[in-house]
Amino acid sequence: MGRAYLSLGSNIDAERWLAAAVSELRARFGALDVSPVYRSAAVGFEGPDFFNLAVGLESDLGPEALNDWLHALEDRHGRIRGGDRYASRTLDVDIVLYDDLVLSGAGHLQLPRGELRHAFVLKPMADIAPDVRHPVNGQTMAALWAAFPAGKEPLSVAPMRL
């Protein structure tokens, strides 16, 4: 078993797709730690705001198999692949951390996930895993969030039922 932290995001009918994804994650993996949902501007392209959250879970799948399972989850929920990397999407689910592993692999698997440099991933992670350490720099998620430049990437809590 490994401890995985995921980032989930959507900017197309977000409440529907995020709720469905969290429901499937609970059905497959059991108890989850779930952060609040945050609204933020799209990064890398002009588009509707994104809604993002983090989920922590115990996985019986290794990182590669979990990544494959998450891609299938995205596909089941309307994810269109093959277009622009930065585009609107029904569902985007990435492994941010898996135990203290540092690796890259097929299917854009990157541990730790590079998007930890963005507020929309870091703040939800700090909410559910404040004492978890970044496997490269050793800082906790809480310390990384405390050092994040105020106002650089504004977030607002989005009241969503998941």
Residue 84 pLDDT: 58
Residue 3 pLDDT: 98
pTM: 0.91
Per DSSP, helices labelled H in the chain are: 14-29, 63-76, 119-128, 141-146
User: Can you give the pLDDT of all 162 residues of the chain as single tens digits?
Assistant: 899 999 999 998 899 999 999 999 999 999 999 999 999 988 776 788 999 999 999 999 999 999 999 999 988 876 565 655 566 777 889 999 999 999 998 878 999 999 999 999 999 999 999 999 999 999 999 999 999 998 899 999 998 888
Residue 79 pLDDT: 59
Q: Are 118 and 154 in contact (CB under 8 A)?
A: no
**CA dist., res. 49 & res. 52, Å (int):** 10
What is the amino acid identity at position 23?
S
- Comparing CA positions, the residue from 62, 88, 63, 79 lying closest to residue 20 is 79
Is the previous residue joined to 154 through a cis bond, with omega within 30 degrees of 0? Answer: no
Residue 41 pLDDT: 87
Residue 36 pLDDT: 97
